[in-house]
Structure 1
């Protein structure tokens, strides 16, 4: 899956927030290689932003996203993912399931992701949109709503890849947002922390993708 499974990310949790930036973002985690921030969107949802640098090709990231059988190895709290359709070589419709983490009930989401690459800069952008409203509810799961995501992969010198992600989603259900927001941030930190190690196993060319 991947989330192109894509999707990155939904519901997660961690320590209390701190440090409001001039941009309106509040820093949740900051280290030499990883920055995670959050803020409230215009529709009062948690909006998250994460950026990290890893030694990887661009194609490796796409291969990882499409490896739905291995999603639980890097996407925190993910259970499984199913590719429902592939309208084109760069577009995927995916159904993702997330395990329950008390007090949060199991969630699922259906998203469509599509990527494009700028031929000169080689920057690859991946856009994710919510498609859950077009499918019947899944028994035993709460359907995540208003899913939006944007990935930007920028190749740097020395084989380094800058990965930038911004996204938001409504976890739905009856839990207060201060609980689901925390769960989302914790899961996001876990997911991005695992990226560097897992990408090492996907270093092979991806059809149609320009590298460094």
Structure 2
């Protein structure tokens, strides 16, 4: 059997060789990690570019549950989906549906109406003659994103023949000076439409067209918004409208028409 001879020189060389291999593996790891991250960033930008260019510009049905249908529309060049929800109900009159417009107490607990709401301010009270108001919602966002301010002008119109009520909420971001605390939305055009269809039934339509602005990951909104809007129409809003103060409302500037 051949004996293994270990010399002091060999003992000195072995650790040195091992020491070189450690930093070399670390450099390769860091290099590969950097390549992966750069590739991921490039892929994300490419996917976002393709998403912006995509879109049929047609309404597509996404949810059909509980008598409520939710559609989405992707327009080429847009980052956000438009969402349209439709349902019918005979539980509420036109006045019942619109009564919250006159309810100043929403300022005390706005989160009941909009999840994540930090504050709701009535800047210009509802005017029955012009059938308009100006309000501002401030919504909290998950960190590290800044709160969002939604400064809206509400405008109500009613067709004298069909009695269809249309409430448009449009962003007016320059109505007051900006706040450093928040990102103020520049694009909002949300529409509520109430159509009497006979026998006390009212067709309720809601179109959500808004962009949260800033660096917020818009794919999260596109992913979750259809389900949230379905829940709003079928669960959240009816529950709020069943309060006695809305049930007993009768607004003189609204013609109930066929909804009687």
TM-score, length-scaled by structure 1 = 0.78
Match of 2:111 in 1: 72
Point out the structure with the larger strand share. 1
Provide the C-alpha distance between the structure 2 equivalents of 1:110 and 1:142, rounded to a whole number of angstroms.
11
Match of 1:198 in 2: 240
Bigger mean CA offset, 99-108 vs 174-183: 99-108
Match of 1:207 in 2: 252
Give SS of 2:238's match. Answer: helix
Match of 2:72 in 1: 38
Provide the C-alpha distance between the structure 2 equivalents of 1:150 and 1:86, rounded to a whole number of angstroms.
19
Q: Is the 8 A contact 1:33 1:52 kept in 2?
A: yes
Matched, 1:135 2:176: yes
**Pair 1:158–1:195, CA change in 2 (3 A):** farther
Q: Is the 8 A contact 1:148 1:167 kept in 2?
A: yes
Match of 1:59 in 2: 95
Provide the C-alpha distance between the structure 1 equivalents of 2:135 and 2:167, rounded to a whole number of angstroms.
14
Q: Shift in Å at residue 166 of structure 1?
A: 1.2
Give SS of 2:178's match. Answer: coil
Matched, 1:83 2:102: no
Match of 1:160 in 2: 201
Post-superposition Cα deviations, 1:160-196, rounded to whole Å, max 9, x if no partner, equal 3211011311111113321232343343233223122
**Pair 1:190–1:87, CA change in 2 (3 A):** closer
Root mean square deviation, CA, Å? 2.4
Q: Is the 8 A contact 2:57 2:73 kept in 1?
A: no
TM-score, length-scaled by structure 2 = 0.65
What number of residue pairs does the alignment pair up? 191
- Residue 189 (structure 1) aligned to one of 202, 205, 230: 230
**Pair 1:83–1:102, CA change in 2 (3 A):** same
Higher relative contact order (CA 8 A, sep 6+): 1
**Pair 1:28–1:102, CA change in 2 (3 A):** farther
Provide the C-alpha distance between the structure 1 equivalents of 2:204 and 2:115, rounded to a whole number of angstroms.
18
Q: Is the 8 A contact 2:102 2:126 kept in 1?
A: no
Runs of 4+ more than 6 Å apart? none
**Pair 1:184–1:143, CA change in 2 (3 A):** farther
Point out the structure with the larger helix share. 2
- Residue 161 (structure 2) aligned to one of 107, 111, 120: 120
Match of 1:29 in 2: 63
Give SS of 1:170's match. Answer: coil
